[in-house]
């Protein structure tokens, strides 16, 4: 791991500005009437020398962070709406979808940084995703087994209760079988 490249924290002249000056810079960036050169000149006039390119790099970082926050907010809103509309969706399925989406985005937008990701870390992420799928399948099988056990129990009790009327027993058992099949079918969605 000694020859692996380390990530360095981005340090900018803007990071050295006092909070009130940085707030003014942010306000000027939000106003489309100012160019990066106008902002650099204004900040320099306040006694803090800064270049146009430093303002531009800060704006790109700032916009990238704002875009990521906006995307996360939109995804959360869509996720909450999906949960409201699909109350029977398993939470591990949602978690897996979120993780797969995040991992796919990271792979798609990675340059050489992805190559620097330790293999064991990538492996752990994939194992976690696979484990989630296995747990969901195990939960589904256990749920189906429980439904079948309840169905058998109810049918046995019905046989005892209506021994004298085989037609009624057959109709009741069909109702129970249909309800069990309907409940088991909810997992297939």
Please work out, in degrees rounded to the nearest 5, the angle formed at the alpha carbon of residue 178 by the alpha carbons of 174 and 181: 140
57 and 94 assigned to the same domain? no
Backbone region of residue 106 per phi and psi (left: phi > 0; alpha: psi in -120 to 50; beta: other values)? alpha
83 and 99 assigned to the same domain? no
H-helix or E-strand spanning residue 125: helix 119-161
65 and 101 assigned to the same domain? no
44 and 83 assigned to the same domain? yes
Q: Which two tokens stand for residue 114?
A: 């992805």
170 and 104 assigned to the same domain? yes
- Which of these, 1, 56, 61, 49, lies nearest to 34 by C-alpha position? 56
Q: What stretches in the chain show pLDDT beneath 70?
A: 1-11, 65, 87-119, 122, 126, 129, 187-189
Say what the pLDDT of residue 2 is.
Answer: 47
Taking each helix axis from N to C end, the angle separating 36-45 and 52-85, rounded to the nearest 10 degrees, works out to: 120
124 and 165 assigned to the same domain? yes
Separation CA 49–CA 44 (nearest Å): 4
Say what the pLDDT of residue 81 is.
Answer: 77
Say what the pLDDT of residue 167 is.
Answer: 87
Say what the pLDDT of residue 45 is.
Answer: 95
User: Which parts of 52-112 fold into alpha helices (H)?
Assistant: 52-85, 91-109
Q: Are 64 and 10 in contact (CB under 8 A)?
A: no
110 and 151 assigned to the same domain? yes
**Could you list the residue range(s) of the whole structural domain that residue 27 is in?**
1-87
7 and 35 assigned to the same domain? yes
183 and 106 assigned to the same domain? yes
3-state per-residue secondary structure call for 165-177: CHHHHHHHHHHHH
């Amino acid at each position: 791991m000694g020859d692996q490249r380390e990530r360095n924290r981005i340090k900018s002249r803007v990071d050295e500005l006092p909070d009130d000056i940085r707030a003014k810079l942010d306000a000027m960036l939000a106003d489309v009437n100012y160019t990066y050169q106008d902002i650099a000149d204004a900040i320099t006039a306040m006694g803090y020398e800064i270049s146009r390119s430093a303002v531009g790099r800060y704006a790109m970082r700032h916009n990238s962070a704002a875009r990521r926050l906006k995307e996360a907010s939109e995804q959360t809103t869509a996720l909450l709406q999906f949960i409201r509309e699909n109350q029977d969706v398993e939470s591990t399925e949602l978690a897996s979808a979120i993780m797969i989406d995040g991992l796919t985005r990271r792979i798609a937008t990675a340059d050489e940084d992805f190559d620097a990701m330790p293999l064991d870390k990538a492996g752990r992420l994939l194992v976690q995703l696979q484990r989630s799928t296995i747990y969901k399948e195990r939960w589904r099988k256990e749920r189906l087994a429980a439904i079948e056990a309840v169905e058998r129990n109810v049918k046995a009790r019905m046989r005892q209760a209506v021994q004298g009327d085989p037609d009624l027993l057959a109709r009741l058992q069909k109702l129970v079988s249909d309800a069990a099949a309907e409940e088991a079918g909810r997992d297939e969605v």
